[in-house]
A and B are shown apart, each in its own frame.
Chain A
Amino acid sequence: MSSVGILGEAARENSFVLLQIGHKRVALSAAQVAELAPPVRLHAFPHRTPLLAGVIVRRGRIVPVIDTEPVLGGKSPLSHRFYLIANRQVGGVNELAAIPVNGECELANGEMQPPAMDRPAYVAGTLAVGEDSLDVLNLDAFSTAKAGAEASR
């Protein structure tokens, strides 16, 4: 890999997309983000997996939609303005997942700090943005998160 490539990789590692999910502002590693999609139709069908709202169809692919509300609180995912589509590991497989976001998304650079001991598994770390300290989401662990764990905090 060229030195320019290495620099680019490092810059990407320190880049985060800041999201508004419900009333909560969180961050997600930019390296995971595939695209910001319009609020296309959510298709719901019976299932038994917690924290999944259904699926959307994007560019001919069926993408599961994470229901962030039980964990992060905020409004129903149906009130969102966009879907942020990101890569995550599920059962050892890389798969796209969509997160309903209802506010502006912006890019920020910074160094992620490790999470405090008491933070849930879906928090990969914290990112200082101005005077705020935002949780950086670990989407891979989101499926095992306990509903209501964060909403009540």
Chain B
Amino acid sequence: MTEAARFSSGASAQAALHRGRHTETVVLFIVANQMFAVAADSVHEIRSTDSIAGAAHEIEHPEVPKVRHTIERSGRTYYVVNAGMHFGLPVTRPSLVMILRQFRAALLVDRIDRMAEISRVHPLPHAFAGDERRWYRGLAYLDDSVIPVVAPRGFLTPREFQELDGVQREAAVQA
């Protein structure tokens, strides 16, 4: 079993198990030295960028510069979002692609730190009033650190999906 596949099936089972105990399994990942958490059961698989390079196709839309590639997985097209650009972080060389489960999006990240259990996702204080309200489900307090828990739905807005789908359709017609 590949590491990615093991992660995919094991994480879901573990997450389901721990939900009964009011904890949640998250994947802690790093982008430009900033740690984020994502619910483990919202991640389908994690691959190295090298391993999927051959399966990636270029895409370009001036209004969605954080997406430069698509990948095909299980008959679906996933838009690959550069997490650093999404969060406005310094440019890095991401080495992993995190493919999300419920959305046609994958995430370029620098590295996975570890998996962890969190007992609570604190709501984002109302003082935070910008795009971060869409980016994050809330904040987790883990090992004396406050870690934003990302909302998978927040990586691409419905409008951005529409724009990218339009580019895809045009490319298909031209092909």
Interface, chain A (partner B; CB < 8 A): 41, 43, 45-49, 52, 55, 57, 62-64, 66, 90-91, 93, 95, 97, 143
Contacts and interface: CB of A to CB of B under 8 A. Distances in A.
B146 A55 contact: yes
A41 B144 contact: yes
B99 to A, nearest CB: 22
B146 A45 contact: yes
Interface residues of B, number: 22
Nearest to B35: A45
Q: Name the prevailing secondary structure of the B interface residues.
A: mixed
Interface stretch (B54-62, B66-74, B126-134): B126-134
Q: Name the prevailing secondary structure of the A interface residues.
A: strand
B148 A62 contact: no
A95 B127 contact: yes
A90 B123 CA distance: 14
B125 interface: yes
Interface of B: 34, 36, 87-89, 122, 125-132, 135, 139, 141, 144-148
9 contacts: A41-B144, A43-B145, A45-B148, A47-B128, A48-B131, A49-B128, A55-B125, A62-B146, A90-B125
A91 B172 CA distance: 46
Given A46-B132, A47-B132, A95 B126 contact: yes
Nearest to B134: A48
A45 B132 CA distance: 10
